[in-house]
Amino acid sequence: MPSIMITGVSSGIGEASAEKFAAEGWIVVGTVRDPSHVTRQWLGDVSLVALDLGAKGNAAAAAATAMERLGGAPDVLLNNAGMVLFGAVEETADRWRDVFEINLFAQMDLIEAMLPKMRERGSGVIANVTSLGGRLTFPFYATYNASKWALEGYSEGLWHELKPFGIRVKAIEPGYVDTKIFKKALGSGTAADVDSNSPYAPYLRSMDHFSRTVDKQSTPAEAADEVWAAVTDPSDRLRYPIAAWAKLLLRFRRIAGEQVFMENFHKRWMYGSQE
């Protein structure tokens, strides 16, 4: 029976992916900050491991617990957990390192802990959930996007390095998915969420409005179906844009060219609504 370790299964894509893989007969080890606070009843073989990605050393400890529970490295490591930061780069400098610790360095620690056993076995899949924002950058999400661009580059490097050992690397790039993580980053949606004294205030409000009004977002379950397809794809393909708008926006950027794309969307994002 194949096994998978999925980080961040308390909600969103992680929770839906844990349900999907368990329903397909996989053994699932999922991570949450505190398993004692999880009351959800899983339909399938899902066990939980404590992992706070923001605490250094926790990733290696969680990996060790998972491998002890599974009797070795899982067939798949799905790095899904992360955090979103919304705000001007100039005004969020005190949180940059937290974002990179959670979205990049802790993911790298998990991979480092799993790799020796996967390499000895001669097989495995490392699937990193990056983002549409790992291929293009949205205003006021720059720190989050930068961490995902870094994870993209790291994943591509791993693709080369691990291919000789039979380990496949996947970068899964979700577009717009209706999850709590972005809603939490945006706040309540009131004017109080934006400091009126900030020089960026009108542009923050415009981008906030855009982010909240994106229609046709995928559900976590729909995204999980695409995650399943990517993880179980036996090919050497690296990148998988999934969920609403990802393929369309990347295609437009490729056809129009980066500068034209940036100029076009700059107007929508920064000046679309400054109410």
Q: Output the CA angle 61-64-68, nearest 5 degrees.
A: 145
Looking at residue 42, the DSSP 8-state letter turns out to be P
How far out from the chain centre does Cα 28 lie?
18
Q: Output the CA angle 27-77-145, nearest 5 degrees.
A: 135
Yes or no: say if 273 and 205 are a contact pair by the CB < 8 Å rule. yes
CA–CA separation, 217 vs 179, rounded Å? 9
Yes or no: say if 142 and 90 are a contact pair by the CB < 8 Å rule. no
Looking at residue 102, the DSSP 8-state letter turns out to be I
The residue annotated as part of the active site, out of 141, 144, 154, 176, is: 144
CA–CA separation, 141 vs 89, rounded Å? 8
Residue 93 has which token pair? 């400098």
Of 28, 73, 128, the C-alpha closest to 19 is 28
User: Quick check: is 144 catalytic?
Assistant: yes
DSSP annotation string for 188-253: SSSGGGS-TTSTTHHHHHHHHHHHHT--SPBPHHHHHHHHHHHHH--S---EEEESBTHHHHHHHH
CA–CA separation, 17 vs 28, rounded Å? 10
Q: Which residues are catalytically annotated?
A: 144
